[in-house]
Amino acid sequence: MSLELGRRAVHATGAGLPALWLLGAPWWIVQLLLAVALAVALVLEYLRLVVGLDHWVYRKLTRPYEDDSVAGYALYMVSMAAVGFVFVPSIAVPGMLMLALGDPFSGMLGSGEVGGWKAPDVLAATFGFCFLLAAPFTVSTAGVAVGALAAAVGALGSTVADGATPVVAGYVIDDNLTIPPAACLGITLVYFATGIPVEFAFPF
């Protein structure tokens, strides 16, 4: 297996966390596992960036532009944990799946240059795939019309986050950090706009 295929395979294993909920596990179990995985990732990044320990996870899963910044696998866990602790499962799970499965799906079709966009056909295919990932959850929550709109807006947010690789102040904005929040916020905004009650994982 090539290094790139290996990265995508590892990426897809993140779908196992929301899959636990789909198989009947309580959401707090998923949240606990997210917290543990996030803590491990942050410790590994501290050891690499501050202590200088070049660990095997970094050598296997990162790209050259991550040498002096927080690596993508850690940002992956930050965004997964963030949506898992803010949104209820019916909103969080689509965002998680778009990162875990939609991102590697898009990567297999083509990649864009840092600071640019992926090709239009890749963006279109990514949107369609992410829509299919979200629709079962949004339609069951809000009905066909609003659910389809929510899935489309969530998929659009994910597609934009995945398709663009902006550079801000010299740092590449990694889609591992932006895909789940963009998707979940898109779904939530449609629910708010159409009067669908929105609950969060923890009361505010």
Q: What is the residue-level pLDDT of the chain in tens, covering all 204 positions?
A: 455 676 777 778 889 999 999 999 999 999 999 999 999 999 988 888 888 777 666 666 666 666 677 888 899 999 999 999 999 999 999 999 999 999 999 988 877 666 678 889 999 999 999 999 999 999 999 999 999 999 999 999 999 999 887 777 667 778 999 999 999 999 999 999 999 999 888 644
Read off the DSSP letter of residue 202: S
Residue 62, pLDDT score:
66
Note whether 20 and 29 are within 8 A (CB). yes
Query: Any idea which residue has 């602790």 for tokens?
Result: 85
pTM of the model: 0.89
Residue 197, pLDDT score:
92
Query: Any idea which residue has 């079709």 for tokens?
Result: 109
Three-state DSSP class for residue 164: strand
Distance CA 85, CA 2 (A): 34
Read off the DSSP letter of residue 200: B
Query: Any idea which residue has 């663009």 for tokens?
Result: 164
Task: Write b or e for each residue in 63-86: b if 16 or more Cβ atoms lie within 10 A of its Cβ, otherwise e.
Answer: eeebeebbbbbbbbbbbbbbbbbb
